Amino acid sequence: MAHILIVDDEEAILFAMGQYIMAQGCTVDTARELEEAQALLSNIRYHLVVADLRLSGIHGSEGLDLVGMVRECCPSTRVIVLTAYGSAEMQQEAIRRGADAVLHKSMPLAEVADHAMRLLGCAA
Amino acid sequence: MRRLLNDILAPEALQIAFQPVVELIGDRMQLHMLECLTRGPHNTNAARADVMFEYVRRKRVEPTVDRACILLGLHAAASLPGTPDLSFNTHASTLGRDPEFPALVVSMADNVGIDPSRITIEIIEHAHGWDGATFDRALRTLRSLGARIALDDVGLGHSNYQMMIDTHPQYMKLDRYFVHGAHADLDRRAVLESVAQLSRKLGARVVAEGVEDTRDLAPLSDAGIDLAQGYLFARPLSAPDLIASGWLQPSARIAAPARPLAAFPA
């Protein structure tokens, strides 16, 4: 069973996306802050991380920090970055740091979940 | 946005448990002290202690959370019968960044009727980044007030030779990595013996952490290590469960277990 971490500072997104992904038979942890996600990643191995680019931090691109951390500490973990406002440069930077996909937050959650499952299939 | 730190510091959110450190005397054992352990609130990511303290370090709020953990631990300990010695985990960064911490600990202990001489501060260290002078002063103050110092997780990360010299601990808590499986591993036995010998020269006692297997008692004994902690003896227990367990009965000397215990038999 795949173990997935969802990181977003919006409670509603965490809940709804968690429901979609759990419906696919995965177990889900959620985090609302960069440091909370980092603490989980330091102690738990995930198959996939789905992270918002902006996490109410100072520079507004905390999701990029998470991508870097995942690539460093658990290279086999897949990463999806979600962005509502990110520029093309920001998206390219996410890919450069090792994100497997950058998706727009307006994408229906069912499609995000489909992307996640396809990535996990690739990882299997 | 609701932050995990707010959950951790909410009233009555932190959970306190005590795990016995036992002194092995031949085939008998007795309580040496209790380590006070803290878990974050249920139904949050902080319910796992490793996640909670990693989060706390990344938020750089170790002094705030360490103060809360010790305050709650002292209050829980005050309800225990007898006068067991107590140890409390404290980040090195707290000692190095919070000049008021030592006096505050002693004051909090006084408030609940616990003599500072019963207290051991277990230094957990993960990264440098504090004021060395403040850290040294904190250790001196704690010692002058009667508290003892332990170095936690010896053998791993930053709990290294430099910290042994800098902290002059009364206890060195050897990480379970070196203890578990020592009966069948010459390399681990070599580390046990080396740390035990070094500790004797530095005037400290070794506590073997994570003892879960009776077969690992022999290498501890061979190395001259007579303090141990782990599920073989007792899991972390709430104050009521600890009282019910029998560990706190006066002068209790109990046969060392032949197999791991779910909880100490009353």
Q: What is the ipTM of this complex?
A: 0.88
B58 interaction partners in chain A (CB closer than 8 Å): 35, 38-39
Write down the pTM of the prediction.
0.88
C-beta atoms of B51 and A43 within 8 A: yes
Please name every residue paired with A50 in a beta bridge, in sequence order, or none if there are none.
A6, A80
Q: Is the Cβ pair B58, A11 closer than 8 Å?
A: no
DSSP code for B47: G
Q: In tens digits, what is the pLDDT along chain B, a chain of 266 residues?
A: 668 999 999 988 999 999 999 999 887 899 999 999 999 999 999 999 999 999 999 999 999 999 999 999 999 999 999 999 999 999 999 999 999 999 999 999 999 999 999 999 999 976 766 778 999 999 999 999 999 999 998 988 766 788 888 899 999 999 999 999 999 999 999 999 999 999 999 999 999 999 999 999 999 999 999 999 999 999 999 999 999 998 998 666 666 665 555 444 43
Is A73's Cβ below 8 Å from some Cβ in B?
A: no
Residue A29 contacts B, CB cutoff 8 Å: yes
Query: Which chain A residue is nearest to residue B60, measuring alpha carbons?
Result: A35
- Per-domain boundaries in chain B: 4-246
Per-residue model confidence as pLDDT tens digits over A63-104: 899 999 999 988 999 999 998 876 788 888 899 999 999 999
Q: Answer whether residue A122 shows pLDDT above 60.
A: no
Question: Nearest residue on chain A to B54, judged by CA atoms?
Answer: A39
CA distance B15 to chain A (A): 19
**A42: contact with B, CB 8 A cutoff:** yes
| Token pair for B65 | 């959370």
Pick from B224, B135, B216, B221: which is nearest to B177 by CA? B216
Best of B54, B57, B60 to disrupt the A interface (most A CBs within 10 Å) is B54
Of A39, A42, A56, the CB nearest to B1: A56
Q: What is the 3-state secondary structure (H, E, C) of chain A?
A: CCEEEEECCCHHHHHHHHHHHHCCCCEEEEECCHHHHHHHHHHCCCCEEEEECCCCCCCCCHHHHHHHHHHHHCCCCEEEEEECCCCHHHHHHHHHHCCCEEEECCCCHHHHHHHHHHHHHHHC
Binary contact (A43, B59; C-beta < 8 A): no
pLDDT the model gives residue B254: 66
Q: What is the pLDDT of residue A32?
A: 94
What domains, with CATH codes, occur in chain A? Answer: 3-123 (3.40.50.2300)
- Min Cα distance B114 → chain A (Å) is 34
Nearest-5° Cα angle at B18, B44 to B152:
85
CATH superfamily of B4-246: EAL domain (3.20.20.450)
Q: Is B49 on the interface with A (CB under 8 A)?
A: no
Per residue in A9-36, pLDDT tens?
Answer: 988 989 999 999 998 889 999 999 999 9
